[in-house]
Amino acid sequence: MKNKVIVSIIPQLKDNYSYIVHSLINKSAIIIDPAESKPIIDFLIKNNLYLKGILVTHHHSDHTSGLESLLNFKKTSVYSPNKDIFGTNKIIKDNDIIDFDFLSLKIISTPGHTSDHVVFYNKQNSLLFSGDTLFHFGCGRVFEETYDVMQISLKKIEQLPDSTKVYCGHEYSIKNLSFLMNNFNDYHLLSDMKKRLLKQIMDNGCSMPFLLGEEKQINPFLSQYSEYFRDYMNKNGINNKQFFKNMRDLRNNF
């Protein structure tokens, strides 16, 4: 039971997720990427949780718009990579470790979707909160940096253990998988995954979390370990960087 933590998924807005991570031992809790405060506050009250901090992956409003009312509800530390994010009083950067009494999180800087983007990794429980950098079967749009920078950021995530459970910022899994099946209709792993994905959404209402080890085989933006995607690149005479750019451009227009 030592250090037992629970991750609760809080649907937000149209297709965003915020997460509440809390300790079963002492009821300490943190919030990640709040967009709408009401369901978060309701959850904290219902479960008698002690808020120890709010963490933000990047500056987009669908990850931050709940900050003001949450801070009105309870003053707490806001850990973010950008001083312009509302309420920020702890600036975080690459390789920082945040030690809460029940949870230690490593900050990994992942610029690409935005310049300030970070993700949060907990080694002890194999958890990754990937914001809008890595999605299930996809990755975030590249708004503020180059494709190369985004690809380097995703390669950092790729170094984490296969057993890592990933919680991302949006429910885009079905659309992302449809995009892949449209482009790689002979990749049998994708149709296998579709059955599981639909069952998971039917059973749990969402597709979080997903396993990083499996994602390495099916996500073309994390393609360095997939034989299928290596063959595809060889056949088409393109390298990893060109493949990444082609896939991202195609997905933007899907």
Of the listed pieces 3-11, 126-134, 179-187, 226-234, which binds Fe ion according to CB under 5 A?
Answer: 126-134
- The nearer residue to Fe ion, 67 or 190, going by C-beta atoms, is 67
- 132 part of the interface to Fe ion, by CB under 5 A: yes
Distance separating alpha carbons of residues 153 and 254, to the nearest angstrom: 23
- The nearer residue to Fe ion, 52 or 60, going by C-beta atoms, is 60
Kindly determine how many residues on this chain lie close enough to bind Fe ion according to the rule CB under 5 A. Answer: 2
Torsion, CA 31, CA 33, CA 38, CA 40, rounded to 10: -30
- 145 part of the interface to Fe ion, by CB under 5 A: no
- The nearer residue to Fe ion, 141 or 230, going by C-beta atoms, is 141
Distance separating alpha carbons of residues 208 and 200, to the nearest angstrom: 9
Distance separating alpha carbons of residues 117 and 207, to the nearest angstrom: 22
- 171 part of the interface to Fe ion, by CB under 5 A: no
Q: Which residue has the tokens 């990749």?
A: 187
Distance separating alpha carbons of residues 80 and 162, to the nearest angstrom: 27
In angstroms, what is the minimal distance from the CB of 39 to Fe ion?
A: 20
Residue among 99, 95, 100, 93 nearest 115 (CA): 93
Cβ neighbours, 10 Å, residue 108: 21
- The nearer residue to Fe ion, 132 or 158, going by C-beta atoms, is 132
Binding mask 57-96 for Fe ion (x = CB under 5 A): ---x------------------------------------
- Contact set with Fe ion (CB under 5 A): 60, 132
